[in-house]
């Protein structure tokens, strides 16, 4: 079995390599491993956290292969599945009652608190993939948690930007952006007393949303009762907004960007990013040669739309 | 009309924003704008370079919108289409004779030489998207050229890695990698006296190849007659290898990473990257929440395969 980290010296980033996932079986039609009563779920839960059966990372990974030139590392960490409801036939997390979404987030908070104590846990990335269009095969509402022994590349780049901005202005970049978005209003999607959601001025995807707490906090565990409830509401409102555009479910990715679990990162400001990938009905935005090979994104805006104000 | 660059202050990168592309018409069935005799192509060519009719960048872009907080920039540059053959019914560049592929590359060299002289040209990215699976709608063999006023993010990151490696070792990172790959052999795909192609030790995509000239060169224009011919051959061999795995055409992205057009970057080493996105027959590798939201890739290796040696 191979399960290891391999360092890409050209880009300077880790790749998670595993042979475990290749072993994923074809599930019999009609069987859902996330439904109540499945071997790993049991009964009596409203939300359940499962170990990913085909993980890229593990608390007890095998020794990595050694190479005289290339750098490898132990695939220390954990991959979890957050099953968001016992009900199989719900299409999306946004179709759940706000209370249930709140419970999902509360459970996630507990996982963050628990995993923060592990030596190997450098970062906890929560993400959600929605839609067969982006490869989701199990439709029972669920999201994923990766506890990684490294800080994900995009978060690292954000940390750098926040640090530089603070140094230059003595302010927080996202606190400033919140102020700008609340003033401009044109890109605002929703706001509550504790959260604000807007479409970024510089979107990478056709329908992109940034959700952020007004309070300058770094970790999900810092959110209080009210803030967590407001996030649940925001998620429902923004994701239902996406569906309303197309008057049907639409594929998206969602990711939580919080601070690394270890060390002091009080210059950082937690937020969630949602990438809606459908640009017009049944037409997807594909990240292809420019995006994956060059790294920069193109964004098709509607004619005459002005970003400025 | 909007056509501008917008700076993403969180990631620290430019997004190319344009309303021009939204105007792309639905082409009548059976009409191909890249065939000989189409309004923009004419007759009598073996390879032709066209202006992209719906560009993200232009030598004469409109003034960008102004914003008191967000940074914008002029969308200076150029987007070109490289039509690789007059024959519509060829499936892929790798189905062309090596001589014709050589002509494609020679034409590209001419474009690099020509565009290097423009003030706005900071970088020239050549890339090729293959397959409806990744959004390619026009099947007539063609690739794309973006001349950008900025250095693409991934190239920037590579430049940094090469610089750091040189400082540490006084050697070139890719020269060293070539040596390692030639010794290890297990990941080698093809080699000629002037080029080598291998599967990286740290792949991001199911079938990934890195093609590099043995000689430490920075720009496509530096390749001599023989090196250009060998690259044509390598492209054919590697891409045909991809097809042989599935015994049918398979979707991929290809990108040329060369040095920026301005300044001295003699620490860098030109190469091409090819990303095959099909992991098993008709099963795609999707870059989703982890890859797009976190930035790190997962790679499913076959059971028991060892990267080390």
Give tens-digit pLDDT for A186-238.
Answer: 999 999 999 999 999 999 999 999 999 999 999 999 999 999 999 999 999 99
Distances (CA, A) of A83 to A55, A140, B161: 16, 8, 40
Residue B173 touches partner A, C-beta closer than 8 Å: yes
Residue of B69, B154, B294 lying closest to A295 (CB–CB): B154
- Chain A interface includes B247 (CB < 8 A): no
The contacts of residue A301 (CB under 8 Å, 6+ apart) are A307, B2, B17, B18, B19, B22
B66 Cβ under 8 Å from any chain A Cβ: yes
**Mean pLDDT of all residues belonging to chain B:** 94
What per-residue confidence (pLDDT) applies to B60? Answer: 96
Q: Give the domain range for residue A116.
A: 3-20+33-292
Choose the closest CB to B2 out of A66, A72, A306: A306
For residue B301, is it within any domain? no
With beta carbons under 8 A apart, name residues in chain B contacting A302.
Answer: 19, 22
ipTM for the predicted complex comes to 0.95
B186-235 per-position pLDDT tens digit = 999 999 999 999 999 999 999 999 999 999 999 999 999 999 999 999 99
Residue among A98, A274, A304, A259 at smallest CA distance from A200: A274
Residue A26 domain-assigned (yes or no): no
pLDDT attached to residue B304: 45
Residue A220 maps to which CATH number? 3.30.428.10
Distance CA A152, CA A160 (A): 13
**A52 contacts chain B (CB < 8 A):** no
Instruction: Give chain B positions within 8 Å (CB) of A297.
Output: 15-16
Calpha distance A247→A243 (Å, rounded): 6
pLDDT of B92 above 70: yes
List all residues 6 or more positions away from A5 whose beta carbon is below 8 Å from its beta carbon: A14, A15, A16, A17, A64, A72, A73, A74, A75, A149, A150
What span, in angstroms and rounded, lies between the C-alpha atoms of B92 and A83?
Answer: 43
Inform me whether the pLDDT recorded for A309 exceeds 50: no
Q: Which residues, numbered 133 to 162 in chain A, qualify as contacts with chain B under a Cβ-Cβ cut-off of 8 Å?
A: 134-136, 144, 146, 148, 150, 152-158, 160-161
Q: Is the pLDDT of residue A151 over 60?
A: yes
Choosing among A24, A253, A288, A309, which should be mutated to test the B contact, i.e. which has the most B CBs within 10 A? A288
Q: Is residue B121 part of a domain?
A: yes
pLDDT at A20 over 90: no
Q: Which of residues 82-101 of A touch B (CB under 8 A)?
A: none
Task: Calculate mean pLDDT across residues A259-274.
Answer: 98
Confidence category of residue A149, pLDDT binned at 50, 70, 90: very high
Q: How many CB atoms lie within 10 A of CB A20?
A: 20
State the pLDDT at residue B3: 96
Let me know how long chain A is.
309
Continuous segment of H or E residues that includes residue A229? helix A225-246
Q: How confident is the model at residue B23 (pLDDT cuts 50, 70, 90)?
A: low
The rounded percent of chain A whose pLDDT value lies above 90 is 91
Residues B114-153: tens digit of each pLDDT: 999 999 999 999 999 999 999 998 999 999 999 999 999 9
pLDDT exceeds cutoff 90 at B306:
no
Distance, CA of B108 to CA of B116 (rounded, Å)? 12
Site from A9, A158, A269 to mutate, B interface, most B CB atoms within 10 angstroms = A9
Instruction: Check residue A250 and give its pLDDT.
Output: 95
In a domain, A128, yes or no: yes
Calculate the alpha carbon distances from A160 to A71, A91, A156, B70 in Å. 24, 37, 6, 18
Cβ-contact A225, A90 below 8 angstroms: no
pLDDT of residue B301: 85
The distance of B46 to chain A (nearest Cα, Å) reads 24
3-state secondary structure of A115: helix
d(CA B129, nearest CA chain A) in Å: 6
Label residue B29 by pLDDT band (50, 70, 90): confident
Nearest chain A Cα to B125, which residue?
A294
Whether residue B2 lies within 8 A of chain A, CB to CB, comes out as yes
User: SS in 3 state form for A149-205?
Assistant: CCCCHHHHHHHHHHHHHHHHHCCCHHHHHHHHHHHHCCCEEEECCCEEEECCCCCCC
pTM: 0.96
Which of A143-147, A161-165, A276-280 comes out lowest in average pLDDT?
A: A276-280
Calculate helix-pair angle for B98-116, B225-246, nearest 10 degrees.
120
CB of A268 less than 8 A from some CB of B: no
A24: pLDDT confidence band, cut at 50, 70 and 90? Answer: low
Whether residue B43 lies within 8 A of chain A, CB to CB, comes out as no
Give residue A308's pLDDT: 43
Asked whether residue A27 is domain-assigned, the answer is: no
How far apart are alpha carbons B93 and B104 in whole angstroms? Answer: 9
Check residue B25 and give its pLDDT: 67
Burial readout B40-63 (b: 16 or more C-beta within 10 A, e: otherwise):
ebeeeeebbebebeebbbbeebee
Is the minimum CB–CB distance between A298 and chain B shorter than 8 Å?
Answer: yes
Report CB contact under 8 Å: B306, A2.
yes
Average pLDDT over residues B46-50: 97
Closest Cβ–Cβ partner in A1, A289, A308 for B66: A308
pLDDT over threshold 80, residue A107:
yes
Residue B28 counted as domain residue: no
User: Three-state SS string across chain B, please?
Assistant: CCEEEEEECCCCEEEEEECCHHHCCCCCCCCCCCCCCCCCCCCCCCCEEEECCCCCCECCCCCCCCCCCCCEEECECEEEEEECCCCCCCCCHHHCCHHHHHHHHHHHHHHHHHHHCCCCCCEEEEEEEECHHHCCCCCCCEEEEEEECCCCHHHHHHHHHHHHHHHHHCCCHHHHHHHHHHHHCCCEEEECCCEEEECCCCCCCCEEEEEEECCCCCCHHHCCHHHHHHHHHHHHHHHHHHHHHHCCCCCEEEEEECCCCCCCCCCCCCEEEEEECEEECCEECCCCHHHHHHCCEEEECCCCCCCCC
Structural domains in chain A (count) = 1
Among B254, B289, B303, the strongest candidate for a mutation testing the A interface, having the largest count of A CBs within 10 A, is B289
Q: Establish if A172 belongs to a structural domain.
A: yes
């Amino acid at each position: 079995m191979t399960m290891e980290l391999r360092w890409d010296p050209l880009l300077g980033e880790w790749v998670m390599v595993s042979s475990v996932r290749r072993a994923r079986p074809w599930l019999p039609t009609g069987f859902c491993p996330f439904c109540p009563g499945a071997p790993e779920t049991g009964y009596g839960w409203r939300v359940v956290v499962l170990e990913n059966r085909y993980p890229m990372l593990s608390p007890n990974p095998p020794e990595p292969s050694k190479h005289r030139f290339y750098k490898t590392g132990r695939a220390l960490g954990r991959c979890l599945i957050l099953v968001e409801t016992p009900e199989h036939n719900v299409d999306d997390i946004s179709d759940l009652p706000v209370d249930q979404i709140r419970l999902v987030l509360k459970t996630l908070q507990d996982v963050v608190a628990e995993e923060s104590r592990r030596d190997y846990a450098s970062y906890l990335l929560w993400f959600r993939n929605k839609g067969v269009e982006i490869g989701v095969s199990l439709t029972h509402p669920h999201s994923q948690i990766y506890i990684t022994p490294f800080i994900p590349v995009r978060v690292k780049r954000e940390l750098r930007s926040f640090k530089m901005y603070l140094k230059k202005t003595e302010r927080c970049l996202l606190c400033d952006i919140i102020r700008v978005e609340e003033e401009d209003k044109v890109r605002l999607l929703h706001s509550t007393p504790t959260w604000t959601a807007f479409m970024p001025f510089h979107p990478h995807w056709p329908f992109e949303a940034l959700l952020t707490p007004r309070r300058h906090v770094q970790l999900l565990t810092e959110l209080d009762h009210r803030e967590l409830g407001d996030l649940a509401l925001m998620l429902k409102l923004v994701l239902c907004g996406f569906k309303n555009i197309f008057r049907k479910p639409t594929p998206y990715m969602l990711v939580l960007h919080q601070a690394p679990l270890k060390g002091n990162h009080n210059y950082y400001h937690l937020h969630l990013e949602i990438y809606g990938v459908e640009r017009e009905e049944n037409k997807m935005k594909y990240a292809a040669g420019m995006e994956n090979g060059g790294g920069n994104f193109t964004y098709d805006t509607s004619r005459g739309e002005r970003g400025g104000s």
